[in-house]
Amino acid sequence: MAKIWDKGFDANKRVETFTVGNDRELDLRLAKHDILGSMAHIKMLVRIGLLGEDEEKALQTELQDILAGVEKGNFRLVDDAEDIHSQIEAMLTERLGEMGKKIHSGRSRNDQVLVDIKLFLKEEIQQIKKEVLSLFELLQSLSEKHKDILLPGYTHAQIAMPSSFGLWFGAYAETLVDDMQTLAAAWKVADQNPLGSAAGYGSSFPLDREMTTRELGFATMSYNVVAAQMGRGKTERILAQSMSNIASTLNKLASDNCMYLSGNFGFISYPKELTTGSSIMPHKKNPDVWELIRAHSNRLQSLPNEISLMTTNMPHGYHRDYQLLKEVLFPAIETLHTLLGMSHFMLEHIVVNEDILSDPRYEYLFTVEEVNKRVLQGIPFREAYQQVGKEVQAGIFHAEKRVHHSHAGSIGNLCTEEIRKKMEVASQSIQ
């Protein structure tokens, strides 16, 4: 198959193998988007008179047929195809002759791959949004279900003050709202049409970029053709940062689960089939799923730095370095989908300990409650603090193991509905 940049000579085989790398395999994920981009581009070429209506009908019919093969999972890159773009053009040329070669008029492989990637990332962001919302809804449900069950809160890894399962589950729900905010920012950056920027300096053809923007469902376009090409790498980096934020939340959630499941805490449990055993200790129930979620989340948090280092020190314009972005970003997206799904699956089966505070080790958990109680009775705060401190030192402190928190966001006022509304606002721009 002739390459679309063919000038009558072949590249050195070793050079070709090195430069292509894993691009062919990764390009399969872009097949649908490449076809959709071509469909929109062909309509525009008819609009400006570079293609006839009969040619458009024939080309669109064949592209629909190729797209059907992609959606059925039957599409493959042939051995001598350099990439997804060259194969689709070659397939059209094989079926329609010279007509197939006309679809590249007014565009470059540079803006073609930019369109593919942006359409692909938009689709993936929508899927991540759905998964984050699903986890958010589960966490809010668990928060309400267990809102009256107290558990110890910790600072400096020391027993500090009363918390609750309502607070714990609800905290992760609201943290996902912040993560959704950054995902929405990544969406806005991806939701700009680069088609028509060609190799980065536009085209002498009278391209109708507004038309392709509408056809492809972009909210706007990257107007400046140089800026459109400069978006390569930046779009990926912004999405990577958003993914890293979500991974940070999952990492902490996983760490809490590992700790709370341990014998020294015993705050939660899981069905035995969701944990693993030891090769020599028959009593063990290891949180392997959460440990792997934690480790994978740590890897995802390195993604923005990896992409930043790959794309730094390059002047504007296209560089082959950008090809490697797919090698790190595409698998990372798949990993994030898996982690969100597994976190949801595990939490669906969590069992909380409803009698944690009967353990005498948590006797001093309520010292602040007692100080505040005495302040409400008229004793100055510093004096009440000293009284309770002396009782603790003397070993005579005892308190009622109940809390009376009513302010917004506290144990007795979780603001679940308010947090839900925040999430609705954060997520509504991704659609």
pLDDT at 395: 87
Rounded to an integer, what distance in angstroms lies between the CA atom of residue 24 and that of residue 76?
Answer: 10
Residues 120 and 182 in one domain: yes
Residues 207 and 290 in one domain: yes
Mean local confidence (pLDDT), 191-202: 94
Q: Within a domain: residue 406?
A: no
pLDDT band at 283 (very low <50, low <70, confident <90, very high): low
Mean local confidence (pLDDT), 52-77: 92
Kindly tell me if the per-residue pLDDT of 312 is higher than 80: yes
pLDDT at 191: 98
Residues 348 and 381 in one domain: no
- Using a pLDDT cut of 70, give the percent of the chain over it: 92
Last residue of a domain, one of 55, 83, 105: 105
Residues 184 and 319 in one domain: yes
Q: Within a domain: residue 401?
A: no
Lowest mean pLDDT among 29-38, 42-51, 338-347, 365-374: 365-374
pLDDT band at 401 (very low <50, low <70, confident <90, very high): confident
Q: Within a domain: residue 5?
A: no
pLDDT in tens, 313-369: 888 888 878 888 999 999 999 999 999 999 999 999 999 999 999 888 888 888 888
Mean local confidence (pLDDT), 177-201: 96
pLDDT band at 215 (very low <50, low <70, confident <90, very high): very high
Mean local confidence (pLDDT), 298-327: 89
Q: Within a domain: residue 403?
A: no
Q: Residue 288: give the domain boundaries.
A: 110-145+164-356+415-427
Using an 8 Å Cβ cutoff, are 137 and 72 in contact?
no
Using an 8 Å Cβ cutoff, are 106 and 205 in contact?
yes
Mean local confidence (pLDDT), 30-44: 95
pLDDT at 414: 96
Residues 26 and 78 in one domain: yes
Q: Which residue has the higher pLDDT, 388 or 142?
A: 142
Residues 334 and 382 in one domain: no
CATH of the domain at 140: 1.20.200.10
Beta strands at 268-269 and 192-193: parallel, antiparallel or unpaired:
unpaired
Q: Within a domain: residue 159?
A: no
pLDDT at 74: 86
pLDDT at 239: 97
Backbone angles phi, psi at 204, to 5 degrees: -80, -10
Q: Which residue has the higher pLDDT, 376 or 77?
A: 376
Half-sphere exposure of 131 (CA within 13 A, CB side): 24
Mean local confidence (pLDDT), 257-263: 93
Residues 197 and 297 in one domain: yes
Residues 318 and 346 in one domain: yes
Q: Mean pLDDT of all residues in the chain?
A: 90
Mean local confidence (pLDDT), 387-414: 88
Helix-strand-coil split of the chain, %, nearest 5: 65, 5, 30
pLDDT at 5: 45
pLDDT at 28: 84
Residues 98 and 127 in one domain: no
Kindly tell me if the per-residue pLDDT of 65 is higher than 50: yes
Half-sphere exposure of 410 (CA within 13 A, CB side): 9
Residues 114 and 100 in one domain: no
Last residue of a domain, one of 89, 105, 121: 105
pLDDT band at 26 (very low <50, low <70, confident <90, very high): confident
Residues 368 and 342 in one domain: no
Mean local confidence (pLDDT), 37-63: 95
Rounded to an integer, what distance in angstroms lies between the CA atom of residue 338 and that of residue 212?
Answer: 34
Mean local confidence (pLDDT), 276-297: 78
CATH of the domain at 59: 1.10.275.10
Lowest mean pLDDT among 80-94, 195-209, 332-346, 405-419: 80-94
pLDDT at 9: 47
Half-sphere exposure of 331 (CA within 13 A, CB side): 10
Total number of domains constituting the chain:
3
Instruction: Tell me if residue 263 falls in helix, strand or coil.
Output: coil
Q: Within a domain: residue 387?
A: yes
Run of H or E residues at 162: strand 158-164
Q: Within a domain: residue 154?
A: no
Residues 347 and 256 in one domain: yes
Q: Which residue has the higher pLDDT, 5 or 260?
A: 260
Beta strands at 192-193 and 220-221: parallel, antiparallel or unpaired:
parallel
Using an 8 Å Cβ cutoff, are 151 and 123 in contact?
no
Q: How far apart are the first and last CA of the chain?
A: 39
Kindly tell me if the per-residue pLDDT of 305 is higher than 80: yes
Mean local confidence (pLDDT), 137-158: 95
Kindly tell me if the per-residue pLDDT of 300 is higher than 80: yes
Lowest mean pLDDT among 63-67, 109-113, 349-353: 109-113
Q: Within a domain: residue 156?
A: no
